[in-house]
Structure 1
């Protein structure tokens, strides 16, 4: 990962929902197909293989972290990124539903009390800890492999209370914390001009996590629109100077100070 952004955006990109849906359905199907390959004929799970290969086949430039209730907004953002810059986004909810489906399959086979429709508490905890450990490892590798992370910061994600930057989602907490810990890796290309340049139960369990977002650059819809305009200007400058087109993420990085250069006029 090279850079991170704390994005606040409303419904302004909702027109990209249909295009985003096409991308979402195709990539989620990839994840589900991959999951099936980790289940052996005897019903056991290839844990090591799953941790290493849950979704490396999905090539993505940007990791989108979002609340379950903001899934539609994340899909619209992925559609906008693809339509505007031909950038591929990985939406973390590709795997949430798939992980739950995998857990359900395991629990129905191994964790039910004999002669009953209820689940054994200890067996259920054991299966959940394994699947969540595998998912955590896979998400960390995906964050590490993508070039930047965009955190969809909405009231659905961040608690509107006296405590600043607090979330009830363990997965959001994990992803933002992991984005601080993974390697800072410069993209394998010349950067701009610089170098030439979810819990459901009868009673709701609520756990709050403080999240540190100091490493994420604040952006909103205006910044997205400026990014598009600046990138078009940068490409024109580069072409007039005899260089190839600049990568769209390099325009974003330069605009927000992640790389230093003279791309802007």
Structure 2
């Protein structure tokens, strides 16, 4: 990760005016990813009937390089899908929406419990599970998911944190608080993770140096996590709109079915868009 930013609903209100267009773009991309995720636990068993976590994570929680990681509350998913669609369609950026991966957490956990921890089916609508076995599955799936998210953050150039009342629920003792353990983990990861300067920026700095000789909602208990996010840079509406207006005619194609076949061309296009954002926002 290189840079982290905080945005609000006001920041992206111009994009939200075109909800139907950009939402459809994101859903199309999400469906491509969704079809790659399988649902057959037997293929993950080792000869000793253990779960092969490496292969399971590759299919259920695939990780790769992205330009932008979007961290948000599930309560804001409708707006996030529009923002993701815009970044894909108009900016040609590779975007990861964190809640997309959350959606498979419950599915995978249910499959594991049905396969290994089901005790009996009381009726048509309820299932009883072994308590210890279910807790063990939950712990392991949580670790697998969290490690996947951390790897994606590390492999993403920038992170956008959608700062809303759904993500930061309240403040006390002069610290913002969130009820989402996923948001807590993601923002903490961005705070402590190594900062990786993109190669194109390193090359630019070296060039200038040579040229100028310079240098889930619960029914009972609710956990609340502190949230240190001062290391993320605020992007206000005016600066974000400046970025929106930046020429994107050559950045309308996305990877996969919509993206160019030339990987280096794609990286240059995405890099130009992100560099313009860094220039507008500043340090």
The question of 1:95 aligning with 2:101 is answered: yes
Deviation at 1:59, TM superposition (A): 3.9
Runs of 4+ in 1 over 4 A off after TM superposition: 34-38, 41-44, 161-164, 191-197
Query: In structure 1, what is the equivalent of residue 151 of structure 2?
Result: 141
SS at match of 1:135: helix
Query: In structure 1, what is the equivalent of residue 135 of structure 2?
Result: 125
Kept after mapping to 2: 8 A contact 1:52/1:138: no
Query: In structure 2, what is the equivalent of residue 151 of structure 1?
Result: 161
Deviation at 1:205, TM superposition (A): 2.6
The question of 1:208 aligning with 2:218 is answered: no
Query: In structure 2, what is the equivalent of residue 172 of structure 1?
Result: 183
Query: Please, which runs of 5 or more residues in structure 2 have no aligned partner?
Result: 209-215, 251-267
1:60 to 1:35, Cα distance in 2 relative to 1, 3 A: farther
Deviations 1:22-80 (A, max 9, x none): 122223333x2398696339875211344567312x44210001111111111111111
Kept after mapping to 2: 8 A contact 1:78/1:88: no
Query: In structure 1, what is the equivalent of residue 38 of structure 2?
Result: 33
Query: Please, which runs of 5 or more residues in structure 1 have no aligned partner?
Result: 236-243, 259-265
Deviation at 1:85, TM superposition (A): 1.3
Deviations 1:146-179 (A, max 9, x none): 0011011111111145564211000000000011
Instruction: Compute the TM-score of the two structures, normalised by the length of structure 1.
Output: 0.80
1:35 to 1:137, Cα distance in 2 relative to 1, 3 A: farther
Quick check: 35-44 or 61-70, which moved more? 35-44
Kept after mapping to 2: 8 A contact 1:191/1:250: no
Kept after mapping to 1: 8 A contact 2:119/2:129: yes
1:256 to 1:38, Cα distance in 2 relative to 1, 3 A: farther
Kept after mapping to 1: 8 A contact 2:65/2:152: no
Kept after mapping to 2: 8 A contact 1:20/1:78: yes
Q: Distance in 2 between matches of 1:155 and 1:26?
A: 31
Quick check: 40-49 or 216-225, which moved more? 40-49
Deviation at 1:105, TM superposition (A): 0.3
Query: In structure 1, what is the equivalent of residue 62 of structure 2?
Result: 55
Once the two structures are superposed, the pairs formed by residues 1-265 of structure 1 within 5 Å of their partners are: 1-10=1-10, 11-14=13-16, 15=18, 16-30=22-36, 32-33=37-38, 39-40=44-45, 44-51=50-57, 54-56=61-63, 58-114=64-120, 116=122, 117-162=127-172, 164-190=175-201, 194-196=205-207, 198-200=216-218, 203-229=219-245, 231-232=246-247, 247-258=272-283
Deviation at 1:189, TM superposition (A): 1.5
Give the root-mean-square deviation of aligned CA atoms. 2.9
Instruction: Compute the TM-score of the two structures, normalised by the length of structure 2.
Output: 0.76
Q: Distance in 1 between matches of 2:15 and 2:177?
A: 26
